Amino acid sequence: MTSKTLGLVMPAFGAALIAAASQLTIPLGSIPFTLQTLAVGLVATLFQKREAVLSLLLYLFLGAVGLPVFAGGSGGLAALIGPAAGFLWGFLAYAALTSALVSPKSSALAIFFANLLGDSLTFVLGMLGLMFLAKMSAAAAFLSGVLPFILPDLGKLAIITFLAKALSKTLKNEGYFK
């Protein structure tokens, strides 16, 4: 069953999932590991392009009006034009690109590389944001905004791939995910 109403409810759920995941922190030693990127990746992989993009737009909008839905419980317009704004807008690009590249029949490798491209786009936009909004040099933006996150994000991408494959197997019966 696909309908216009489903096309509205699905992004609402997607945004809620990302918002809830952004607030969850799993303690791995002394490094807080939020599930924000993981949730964005899952939404981008499982949803079709329209619903994926709408989910992110909805999420960004809620954060813009002050709801504490961004990582660490922050929010407000400040986050959307502050130093880390590039990453938030990058998530939107991530969702658009990855959902366009992935289909329910994609192989695990295709899913991983689609998410890798999406995540890389997030980092590129994040770096641009740091350069123009926080007045950093390119090297400084890379060192502070990209380098520390490469390994953790590769791990998250692997997890996204695993979860997406597991989920898409069992979601074949759902009309939307065919």
Instruction: Summarize as ranges the residues that interact with other proteins (CB under 8 A).
Output: 1, 3-6, 8-13, 15-17, 19-20, 23-24, 26-29, 42, 54, 58-59, 61-62, 65-69, 72-78, 81-84, 134-137, 140-141, 144, 159, 162-163, 166-167, 170-171, 174
Instruction: Return the number of the residue (23 or 48) whose C-beta is nearest other proteins.
Output: 23
Q: How near is the Cβ of 69 to other proteins at its closest, in Å?
A: 7
Q: Which residues contact 83 (CB under 8 A, 6 or more apart)?
A: 129, 130, 133, 134
Instruction: Return the number of the residue (82 or 100) whose C-beta is nearest other proteins.
Output: 82
The SS3 of residue 100 is helix
Instruction: Return the number of the residue (73 or 150) whose C-beta is nearest other proteins.
Output: 73
Instruction: Return the number of the residue (52 or 54) whose C-beta is nearest other proteins.
Output: 54
Q: How near is the Cβ of 121 to other proteins at its closest, in Å?
A: 22
| CA 139 – CA 116 distance, rounded (Å) | 22
Q: How near is the Cβ of 91 to other proteins at its closest, in Å?
A: 16
Instruction: Return the number of the residue (71 or 125) whose C-beta is nearest other proteins.
Output: 71
Q: How near is the Cβ of 17 to other proteins at its closest, in Å?
A: 6
Among candidates 74, 65, 90, which has minimal Cα distance to 145?
90
Backbone phi, then psi, for 135, in 5-degree steps?
A: 55, 40
Q: Residues for the chain: how many in total?
A: 178
Q: How near is the Cβ of 95 to other proteins at its closest, in Å?
A: 15
Among candidates 22, 46, 16, 43, which has minimal Cα distance to 34?
22
| CA 149 – CA 138 distance, rounded (Å) | 16
